[in-house]
Amino acid sequence: MSRRRRRLTRRRAVGLVVVLVAGAVLVAFPRLLGDGSGETPPGAGQATLPTGVPSGADEAVVERVVDGDTVLVAVMGERERIRLIGVDTPETVKPDAPVDCFGPEASAFTTASLPAGSTVWLESDATQGDADRYDRLLRYVWSPDGTMLNERLVAEGYGREDTYDDPYRYRDRFVAAESAAERSGTGLWGACG
C-alpha cells in the first residue's frame, strides 16, 4: 500500500471515529441539545414559579372569566375551560335559572382577580379526576403573588366550600376558611342570609 493511500485510510478512520463519538454524544446527551422535536426540554427556558405556586403547576394565560368559578384560559396555545376545585360560587349564567344572591359579586371578584391576558398557574388534583361532566378541566388557580383563587373565593365569602365526591387536597383549608367567613358574616354569609 502506498504512503498516500495509508494517509487517506488513516484520515478516513479518524473521521469515522469523530463521527461515531459525535453520534454517541447526541444519543447519550439528548437533553443538552434537544430531542429534535422542536420542543424545549422540561425545565429548560421556563420561568421560575412564583413563591407559593406548587411545582408541576402549568402556566396559562387568562382569556376571560365565565362566572365566579369557571374561567377560560390558554395553555400552550390551546383554549381550555377551567372549573375551580373545592368552591361553588352563586350562579350568574346558568340557563333558565335566576341569578343567585351574590353571584354578580363573585363573578366581579374573579374577573378583578384574573384580568384577561394575565398569567396564572393551574394545579391538578389526582383525587378529583382531570375534568368534570361538562368537560371542564378541574384545577386550582394560582396567581403570580402565590395565592390560590379557589381558597380566596371561600375565605372572602364569594363562594361556599364544595366537596363533590372525594375529598380534595386542600379541603381542610377550605373548610376552615368557610367557617371563618360564615362566623364573621363575610360576603354572601352576611348578604344572603
pLDDT of residue 48: 86
Q: Can you give the pTM of this predicted structure?
A: 0.76
pLDDT of residue 5: 43
Is pLDDT at 126 greater than 80 in this prediction? yes
pLDDT of residue 193: 75
pLDDT of residue 40: 41
pLDDT of residue 8: 42
Write the DSSP string, 45-114: SPPPPPTTSPTTPEEEEEEEEEETTEEEEEETTEEEEEEETTEEPPPSS-TTSPPPTTHHHHHHHHHHHS
Residue 52: pLDDT band (50, 70, 90) is very high
Question: How much is the average pLDDT of 118-128?
Answer: 98
Is pLDDT at 94 greater than 80 in this prediction? yes
CB half-sphere exposure, 152, CA atoms < 13 A: 17
Is pLDDT at 117 greater than 50 in this prediction? yes
Q: Which residues are catalytic?
A: 83, 91, 136
- Write out the three cell numbers for 181: 367567613
Cell numbers 424545549: residue:
40
Is pLDDT at 42 greater than 60 in this prediction? no
pLDDT of residue 12: 53
What proportion of the chain, given as a percentage, has pLDDT over 70?
76
